[in-house]
Amino acid sequence: MHVDGFRFDLASILGRDESGRLMPSPPCCGTLNQIRRWRARKLIAEAWDAAGLYQVGSFIGDSWREWNGRFRDDVRSFFRCDEGSLASLADRLLGSPEIYGHKEREPEESVNFVTCHDGFTLNDLVSYNQKHNEANGEDNRDGTNDNRSSIGVSKAQPMTLRWNSCETGK
């Protein structure tokens, strides 16, 4: 069996010390970078944690890639025609340079996604205005409630018209 890599849920916790403070050089992240056998593996961080630390664009280590939650949010906002969403979408499609355009990180370290396993699923996104995943046993408490669903905005409108209406502000 071959393993391409690993995804670390709420990975920012790896950068905290025993008292919960953020460490400047967390040993766990650095050690995973240096283990020879792991260098060829993809290490993907959900670069935030339950305590509110959000490290997208600054997660430590050259081997790490990061889930780009801003990509998810801005793509969803664009399809809702939210104000300012066209400029934000353009930035995401250019590799999020305001997040990754510094010497420690590169745009290639961004993992872009629109939906994921927790919270607002793809089915929810195209079917409901709120999360609707009670069947997973979490009583709909998992994930964010900031879903930015486009249901009720313009569900039946063809995509070409949606793009035009977003560009012209209609």
CA distances from 123 to 82, 100, 106, 129 (A): 21, 30, 32, 11
In whole angstroms, what is the distance from residue 22 CA to residue 9 CA?
A: 17
pLDDT, one tens digit per residue, over 46-79 is 988 888 888 888 887 667 889 998 999 999 999 8
Q: State the pLDDT at residue 119.
A: 66
Q: State the pLDDT at residue 139.
A: 80
End-to-end, the C-alpha distance of the chain in Å comes to 52
Q: Is 62 a catalytic residue?
A: no
Share of residues in the chain with pLDDT > 70 (%): 84
CA 54, 82, 76, 136 dihedral sign is positive
- Is the residue at 45 inside a domain? yes
Cβ atoms of 48 and 10 closer than 8 Å: yes
- Is the residue at 38 inside a domain? yes
- Is the residue at 33 inside a domain? yes
- 147 by Cβ neighbours in 10 Å (0-12 / 13-18 / 19+) ranks as buried
Catalytic option among 4, 9, 104, 124: 9
Q: Say whether pTM exceeds 0.85.
A: no
In whole angstroms, what is the distance from residue 99 CA to residue 113 CA?
A: 16
In the chain, how many domains are there? 1
Q: State the pLDDT at residue 50.
A: 85
Q: Is 46 a catalytic residue?
A: yes
In whole angstroms, what is the distance from residue 160 CA to residue 170 CA?
A: 13
Over 90: is that where the pLDDT of 90 sits? yes
- Is the residue at 21 inside a domain? yes
21 versus 102: the higher-pLDDT residue is: 21
In this structure, what are the phi and psi dihedrals at residue 88, rounded to the nearest 5 degrees?
-65, -40
Residue 128 token pair: 């409901």
147 versus 68: the higher-pLDDT residue is: 68
Catalytic option among 17, 46, 66, 142: 46
- Is the residue at 130 inside a domain? no
Structural domain harbouring 59: 1-67+99-111
137 versus 46: the higher-pLDDT residue is: 46
Strand, coil or helix: what is 126? Answer: helix
In whole angstroms, what is the distance from residue 120 CA to residue 70 CA?
A: 15
Q: State the pLDDT at residue 159.
A: 40
- Is the residue at 5 inside a domain? yes
Over 80: is that where the pLDDT of 35 sits? no
